[in-house]
Structure 1
Amino acid sequence: MELDKDIQTMQRGFHCSLCVVNIPNKPSLEDHVKGKKHQHLLRLRAQRKAQEENGVFVSGFKPDTSQTDLKEYFTQFGPVSDVIMDKDKGVYAIVEFSEPQNAQAALAQLQHQLNGLKLRVKPRERKEFKLASKGKRDSKNTQISLDKLNLEICKATSVNEQMQKVVESFELKDNEKKVRDLLVQLLQEVFTEFFPDCQIVPFGSSVNTFGIHSCDLDLFLDLENTKVFQARAKSSEVETGENQSEDCRSEDSILSDIDLSTASTAEVLELVAVILRKCVPGVHKVQTLSTARLPVVKFSHRELNLHGDITINNRLAVRNTRFLQLCSGIDSRLRPLVYTIRLWAKQKQLAGNLSGPGPLLNNYALTLLVIFYLQNRDPPVLPSVNQLKNMACEEEECIIEEWDCTFPSQPYSVPPSKNTEDLCNLLSGFFTFYSKFDFSASVVSLRDGHVLPITDFLQIDDEAASDSKPRRSSAPKLGPMNVLDPFELNHNVAGNLNERTQKNFKRECCEAEKYCRSLQYQRKSTKGKSWGLVRLFALPCESGPRSQVGTEKVMEVSIPFKAAILPEPLRAQLALAGNGFRGLWFAKVCSAVHMVFQDILKCSPLEETQAAAVCQNLDKTDRDENEMEVNNNRSVEDSGLQAKSETGKKRPLTVEEGPSTSTDVQAKRQRLEADLEHPEPVHWTWTQRKCVWAGRRKVRRDLLKTGDVISKPEGGCVDIESRVTQSIVEKEEKLQDLLEFKVDAEVVGGDESTKVVLHFHPSQDTAGVFQDFFHFLESFLPKMAETILGRVGS
């Protein structure tokens, strides 16, 4: 492949100056150059270059000169595609022509004059195209403010006082709140001119008591009264035959051009964007995001250095804001906890930091995690949403989009908590609580105030699915972390997270929990050293090396429980298994692992045993009666470990056993759930004679070039990976020494996330061959097993 000017050859691999990344080898380079990011930046650079060649810089005109004036003047040199003005100061403009020769014609004319003033027309400045790096700048500013904070909190006498200082340092001040209120008033006045009787309602961080400096201003444009006004105006037009309402506002209103009762969200938001651009002083960078989950119009205010969002369909968010306000008023300890944990999460690159790795927690999800933790203290600090609902009076009942959003309007309606723990203990308790939390098998429910099992969400009930309320019947998006919105119960507010972020969150909670047990956290240093929150907020690279169990690398591969990847039939089986879902899922994973080794990687079984593994066999005829049948032979089949004798045959009932009575069935079900809840480990011994892990990517690429296979990621297709192995086996020579290794599999969960852990033990590896094999298995085995699980029962 011929290298372009953006690619430089290095001692090890290549460097792309356009995307500012290093590429290890040529195959990866080919994928990178064809990738979306590189191609997008190429198109963006070409677009910027064309704009520079087609545009001219114009200055010297009067401040009241309009874009239309400039466009009419420069049209004499050719078609003008756009005129970009500095609309606040009115001192310069960029005139963009359709063709570069039009710009050259304008530059060739020596003198330009408009409205009696001589214009200065120059070529547009050529700027080197660079990838923006906003994250680093934000990180630097954050670090400066944190250094200042550290000096302040070191002077405090306790962790409680330190947490109060965090709140004082980051909370919105009174003058900032007043500025935001003034902007809301201005927007209210402007939008009322176009949408009579509308309301601009702020929500989110600005008003939920958890706002920080420079947080976005979230606004809800309520058009319900405007729709009534428009309907009344139309009715008046029909009766009087005149194109105006009683107060004569509709004639000049934008409502004469749009029917709010039938207009789409995108159409209304486009009107909102136009009003912001043309009618609100200081507003710029207006952008409509009509395809987002909640469509919004984003904008910035130049003088206030403030970013904002306007949405028209977000009543639930307004109600969520009132809920957070209530919780903050119920117990004063909530705000210091939330501010402290948000700052900790940002420093650990778990939330809020744009330069952090991968999808991050948003502040709303973090706040809900704190509230849920306080609901589960003994005694509780905060009540559950259901408890709050029972405390509300009849006038406070609230239903939004079929969701019950009822809770008291005032904190004094809620009895004070009997919990007297101080902030220091509550903060350390937060880290202890989530360091032992089983995220993958649990759903956080603030409405109930306790964890819900994941099996409750694996299968949508048929009756609920046919209900006339589709919103309530749809299940939330399941992921590595599941946190239900308190009111919109099918919305997982942490649904954007990937497994890496969840693992990082749990790991950082474990590290913080260990630190909070030390005297460095609990007591102020008499020698002036950093203590308390200062060390807790330290960046990962500053907080010292991670605690490690041993110096040798443990040969383990984990396959986490991921409900989202499972097909519907398997999800239904797991849902029926109840508390025993781990055992049933463990059997399926073992079957998939067995298939990977024997059928895909062509390993030979030397010894296979299974100690008391029990798997649920749901017979179709018994499902309607909700009865389970225990079949040990079937259990062996499901786990992929076939017994040497009578494999797949049912053991006939003896005369003494006879048919099961209802008592026997119940006893069987109890024994079965107990076996499934705590399944015994599984053991294999495998041998391998070929280096099936070496050169797999090249062989895959060669297979894909034949055109008879569909391109999928490595580990994404059983057929492709089997053919890759077969091709390697046919070409490669045998290993000098037979590779023999043992694999022990166990399922863990409860105090840690549900997963299957595979322990590898090579019998002999003097040449270090197994190390290479294990390095390959670390990424290949979980992906391949998940692919097999994804097609079980489908």
Structure 2
Amino acid sequence: MELEVDIITTPKGFHCNLCNTDVPNKPSLDEHVKGRKHKTLTDVRATRKAQEERSVFVSGFEKDVSQTQLTEYFQRFGDVANVIIDKDKGVYAIVQFSEIEGQLTALSQLVHEINGRRLRVKPREKKGFKLINKKKTDFENLQEVLERLRPVLVQAETVNEQMQCVVERIQLSENKRKARELLVQLIQEVFTEFFPDSQILSFGSSVNTFGIHSCDLDLFLDLDNTKTFQARAKCPTELVAEASSDDGRSEDSILSDIDLSTASPAELLELVAAILKKCVPGVNKVQVVASARLPVVKFHYHQLDLQGDISINNRLAVRNTRFLQLCSGLDARLRPLVYTIRYWARQKQLAGNVGGAGPLLNNYALTLLVIFFLQNSDPPVLPTVDQLKDMACEEEECVIEGWDCTFPSQAIAVPPSKNEQDLCVLLAAFFSFYATFDFAGNVISLREGRALPITSFLSQAREETQEEEEDAMEEEQPRQPHNQTPKLGPLNLLDPFELSHNVAGNLSERSQHNFQRECQEAEKYCRSLQYLRKSTKGKPWGLVRLFTPHSDGPNRKKQDGSADKEMSVSIPFKLALLPEGLRNQLQQAGDGFRPLWFQRVCVAVVQVFQNVLKCSPGSSTESVLSGDPCHADVAPGSCDSMEATSEELNTSNDSGVAGQGSPRSGTAPAGSKRPLSSESSDASSPPQEKKPRLGSGPKPGAPCWTWTQTHAVWAGRRKVRRELIKETVDSRPEGSSTALETQVTDHIVEKEPQVKVPLVFTVQARLVGGTQSTKVLLKIHPPSEGKELLRDFFHFLEIFLPKMVDTLMEKSM
């Protein structure tokens, strides 16, 4: 019966109200109902319902009545399983009995009294169980903020005014900032009693000038002075007396129970949590999070409805906060840009991880992306970290945990920027910069102010591993060295100081793709009149349209341009899947690793079409099909029957897109038209010669192949794969291996009839952005006949081809 209520039919399939999940068809629905999530929530709902039926709601007692007193009183009616008292929202309690008879007996008694006060006892209200989608709730809150902002933004005269308005409306107000300062003072006073000379230092959004009204309060408990005090307390008596006479303090404190020099971080965090719970008024929901990258104690301050956390080993974060404060003081345009881009990212669901963890961008990463863009503007708006280091004096030198964190303490020490672009132009340039940025092949470095080739970090990792092994052999025991290599991922953004920390290391491949896609959409919009000019009719314009989230209706594909896109398959660069031998070759190639990577992908593509999908090659393709895909020096044949060497691949695959989107490479101002040529084009071609459109046919010299497919190898493939796996349980190959997929194709070719009209199509390969990208784009040119059939084949290739290329690349060496 409950299943009928949980599952409803929708135009797109089915929706589970219990799990708040959409499923497309009946088989998927059956799998969902049998799944772990649905079963778990069903059990939780049943448990909650049973608890409600065995519970009573109690009110009317004094505030000093304890949980024990209530338990003892209601124990006379039946075994009490739990008592929950809420004194914050009002004095009431929920008394839960182990059996329903206890509840019925308690309700049958008309009068209940404790300490002379008459109690009100009634059945507990039965509420329907519902899974709260925090992400959706947060998104709805953003929509409410946008609705309040919309009238003000529409009435503004320029985009610059709109951006300033965003700052004024969502920044941390002065009153809230002062309230936070008072809370920090309160916590400082409490902790000083337990840890003499300790300091509570604020960092993060609350103090880095980029805070919003709902940001958390991040605190760092500095115990260095306390450790010094404790060491002095262990000195001879006369020294202790001398030290105590300075401030009237003695060693009588919690220090007598714990030695800070030997205590583990976990022990200290437990102690911090205990102090917060018992000694700081208004603090509740205290929790030690030991599994975080930097363990913290989380808490909630009731009076301000404020979430906060305290760490004991996060001195670098305090220094990062000072760095952001300095950058904010260097140029007044930074804050409006950061606030606008953060809000845009939240609206597009690119940022805002629920609970602080997730695959989306965090505010710190977004801020660093803005700073890096400003470092690469023409002329630069902000200096690099290395340049700031050179501007600092000796007194400002700072090294934390081995990392050089030196920069001037005052903005006046840094020469002002010569860049005079307004906020409107800079915002459009930000989107243009990252719309074509090669995230897969580069590591973003704010210290150097440039993108570093990802292959340079491969040799660094190997050198560190060798050093670790040598040190371990010399010491005859393993030791844990300071890790210098960042965790590489889809988006690599180094911390300005802790160079082993990838700030965007949590990002998934889909999140990185969505960020770049939204930048591309924003770049197109920023070239339109709706962005540049205020509407005379009071319609949304400028930031209002930029902030508007995409609709989820059936026209979404048409809105984002994907419905009418050309038939092209993208194969990204995935460093983690490459074998060690190919990694070494790419590392040795240095900045020129992209042509080599492109060559290997081309060979793998040929292997997939010919060997796995059993396509018949044309005459121009046959001449280059032989050879080892791992050691081939020649790429597959081009459309004009020429063979392209790796050098030719390096020069012939231009796409008309600047590789890193740098404003220094001549980014056009907002509202201007795109140039007809790019810097990556052949210098020998006349400047007035127009580039042919991508859809106008294959480019001479670019690798391409002609294939013929006589069977619908994409139809029913999943079913055939399942049957083959069942038949070969003992010796089946890996589920994604080329061997299994080849067997599937052979089975379809043997059992199924040929298509009426064989598909003859051309596949053209190119490296997007010339030598400045790592994404291979495979354009499929349809034949004159059978276009609809080829479209079905293409939709299959979109998913299948990249996976198979990854598999071949992973196993090739």
Query: By the TM > 0.5 criterion, same fold?
Result: yes
Deviates more, 1:569-578 or 1:506-515: 506-515
Given the superposition, is the C-alpha separation of residues 588 and 96 from structure 1 closer, same or farther in structure 2, using an over 3 Å criterion? Answer: farther
Give the direction of change, closer, same or farther, for the CA distance of 1:527–1:126 in structure 2 (3 Å limit).
closer
Give the % identical residues.
61
User: How far apart are residue 367 of structure 1 and its match?
Assistant: 0.9
Residue 510, structure 1, aligned to residue 507, structure 2 = no
Change (3 A) 1:125 1:607: farther
Q: Distance in 1 between matches of 2:405 and 2:197?
A: 25
Equivalent position of 2:570 in the other structure? 558
Alignment of structure 1 residues 5-20 onto 2, 5 Å: 6-7=6-7, 13-20=13-20
1:738 aligns with 2:762: no
Letter in 2 for 1:382: L
Which residue of structure 2 aligns with residue 720 of structure 1? 740
Letter in 2 for 1:689: T
Match of 2:505 in 1: 495
Whole-Å separation in 1 of the counterparts to 2:54 and 2:274: 26
Asked whether the 8 Å contact 1:693–1:773 carries over to 2, the reply is yes
Aligned residue in 2 for 1:597: 609
Instruction: Please identify, of 81-90 and 58-67, the stretch whose mean Cα deviation from structure 2 is larger.
Output: 81-90
Pairwise CA distance, 1:444: 1.3
Q: Is the 8 A contact 1:688 1:740 kept in 2?
A: yes
2:173 corresponds to 1:152? no
Deviations 1:54-73 (A, max 9, x none): 54433222111223433444
- Report what 1:783 is aligned to: 803
Q: Which residue of 1 aligns with 2:417?
A: 417
Q: Offset of 1:329 from its aligned partner?
A: 0.9
Separation in 1, partners of 2:136, 2:56: 33
Asked if structure 1 preserves the Cα contact closer than 8 Å seen for 2:764 and 2:780, the reply is: yes
In the aligned structure 1, how far is the partner of 2:111 from the partner of 2:253? Answer: 43
Deviations 1:480-521 (A, max 9, x none): 222111011122212222333333333333333333334443
- The alpha carbon displacement at 1:526 in A equals 4.6
| TM-score normalised over the length of structure 1 | 0.83
List runs of 5+ in structure 1 lacking aligned partners: 619-632, 648-670
1:585 is aligned with what amino acid? W
Q: Which amino acid aligns with 1:599?
A: N
Q: What is the root-mean-square deviation of aligned Cα atoms in Å?
A: 4.1
SS in 1 for 2:320: helix
Partner of 2:475: none
Post-superposition Cα deviations, 1:345-386, rounded to whole Å, max 9, x if no partner, equal 222332238699983221111111111111112221111001
In 1, the alpha carbon distance for the partners of 2:199 and 2:623 equals: 67
CA drift of 1:87 comes to 3.4
1:756 aligns with 2:768: no
1:448 aligns with 2:448: yes
Question: Is 1:328 equivalent to 2:328 in the alignment?
Answer: yes
State the distance in 1 between where 2:717 and 2:325 align.
56
Query: 1:608, CA displacement in angstroms?
Result: 4.8
Structure-1 residue corresponding to 2:729: 708
Per-residue deviation at 1:558?
0.8
Partners of 2:278 and 2:58 in 1: CA distance: 22
Question: Which residue identity does 2:269 align to in structure 1?
Answer: L
Any idea what SS the aligned residue of 1:288 has?
strand
Q: Which amino acid aligns with 2:632?
A: R
3-state DSSP class of the match of 2:179?
Answer: helix
- 2:718 matched residue in structure 1: 697
Distance 1:709 1:381, change over 3 A: farther
Alpha carbons 2:612, 2:745 under 8 Å: kept: yes
Cα displacement (A) at 1:45: 2.7
2:633 aligns to what? Answer: 635
Cα 1:678–1:522 shift into 2, 3 Å: same
Q: Decide whether aligned partners of structure 1 residues 641 and 265 sit closer, same or farther in structure 2, where only a CA change above 3 A counts.
A: farther
Distance 2:39 2:415 in 1: 60
Deviation of 1:456 after TM superposition, in Å, equals 1.3
Query: Which moved further from structure 2: 58-67 or 684-693?
Result: 684-693
CA distance in 2, matches of 1:172, 1:604: 65
2:601 counterpart SS class: helix
Structure 2 CA distance for partners of 1:38 and 1:116, relative to 1, 3 Å: same
Alignment of 1:105-144 (within 5 A): 111-144=111-144
Distance change >3 Å, CA 346–CA 17, structure 1 → 2: closer
42 and 471 in structure 1: CA distance in 2 versus 1, 3 angstrom threshold: farther
1:627 corresponding residue in structure 2: none
- Kindly indicate whether the alpha-carbon contact (under 8 Å) linking 2:353 and 2:359 is maintained by their aligned counterparts in 1: no
Report what 2:708 is aligned to. Answer: 687
One-letter code of the match for 1:587? Answer: Q
| Offset at residue 767 of structure 1 (A) | 8.3
Shift of 1:557: 0.8
Q: 1:567: which partner in 2?
A: 579
Deviation string for 1:432-476 (max 9, x for gaps)?
222232222222110001111122123335433316797665422
3-state secondary structure, aligned to 1:757: strand
Cα deviation for residue 252 of structure 1 reads 6.2
Q: Distance in 2 between matches of 1:769 and 1:202?
A: 62
- CA–CA distance in structure 2, aligned partners of residues 314 and 711 of structure 1: 50
* Match runs of 1:308-347 below 5 Å: 308-347=308-347
Contact 1:525 1:531 in 2 (8 A): yes
Aligned residue type for 1:772? D
Distance in 1 (alpha carbons) for counterparts of 2:264 and 2:789: 62
The Cα shift of 1:190 comes to: 2.9
SS at match of 1:687: strand
Aligned amino acid, residue 443 of structure 1: V
- Label 1:133 to 1:340 Cα distance change in 2 as closer, same or farther (>3 A): same
Say whether the 8 Å CA contact 2:633–2:646 is kept in structure 1: no
Equivalent residue, structure 2, for 1:658: none
CA distance in 2, matches of 1:100, 1:257: 48
Contact residue 484 and residue 499 of structure 2 kept, 8 A: no
State the SS of the aligned residue for 2:407. coil
Q: Match of 1:284, SS?
A: strand
Worse-matched range after superposition: 161-170 or 186-195? 186-195
Looking at structure 2, the residues matched to 710 and 210 of structure 1 have their Cα atoms a distance apart, in angstroms, of 59
* Letter aligned with residue 28 of structure 2: S
Which range moves more in the overlay, 429-438 or 547-556? 547-556
Paired amino acid for 1:684 = W
* Greater alpha carbon shift after TM alignment, 418-427 vs 487-496: 418-427
1:693–1:765 distance in 2 versus 1, CA, 3 Å: same
Q: Which amino acid aligns with 1:487?
A: F
**1: distance between equivalents of 2:51 and 2:232?**
48
Say if 2:384 is the partner of 1:387. no
- Contact 1:602 / 1:688 at 8 angstroms: preserved in 2? yes
The 8 Å contact of residues 55 and 123 in structure 1, kept in 2 or not, is answered as yes
Checking the alignment, whether the CA contact within 8 Å between 1:81 and 1:98 is kept in structure 2 is yes
For 1:611 and 1:436, the matched residues in 2 are separated by 35
Contact conserved, 2:636 with 2:703, CA < 8 A, in 1? no
- d(CA) in 2 for partners of 1:613, 1:692: 21
Taking structure 1 as reference, are residues 213 and 546 closer, same or farther at Cα in structure 2, changes over 3 Å only?
farther
Amino acid at match of 1:188: Q
- Mean Cα displacement is larger for which, 424-433 or 225-234? 225-234
In 2, Cα distance between the equivalents of 1:161 and 1:143? 21
Counterpart residue identity of residue 139, structure 2: S
The one-letter amino acid of 1:380's match is P
Q: CA deviation at 1:43?
A: 4.4
- The change in CA–CA distance for 1:220 and 1:767 in structure 2 (over 3 A counts) is closer
Which runs of structure 2 are paired with 1:279-298 in the superposition (5 Å)? 279-298=279-298
Q: Is the 8 A contact 1:60 1:92 kept in 2?
A: yes
Residue in 1 that maps onto 2:485: 475
User: CA separation in 1, counterparts of 2:401 and 2:488?
Assistant: 22
* SS in structure 1 at match of 2:83: strand
Deviations 1:275-331 (A, max 9, x none): 334443333333332212222233323331222222222111111111000111111
Deviation at 1:728, TM superposition (A): 3.5
Q: Which amino acid aligns with 2:608?
A: V
- Contact 1:458-1:563 within 8 A present in 2 as well: no
Q: Shift of residue 202 of structure 1?
A: 1.2
- 1:73-103 per-residue CA deviation (whole Å, 9 max, x = no partner) reads 4455666554322233661123345666665
Which residue identity does 1:48 align to in structure 2?
Answer: R
Structure 2 match to 1:664: none
2-side partners of 1:81 and 1:483: how far apart?
Answer: 51
Question: Per-residue deviation at 1:586?
Answer: 1.5
In the alignment of these two chains, the number of paired residues is 744
Instruction: Supply the AA of the counterpart residue of 2:616.
Output: S
Could you tell me how far apart the structure 2 residues matched to 1:283 and 1:707 are? Answer: 61
Amino acid at match of 1:746: R
Q: Which residue is equivalent to 2:696?
A: none
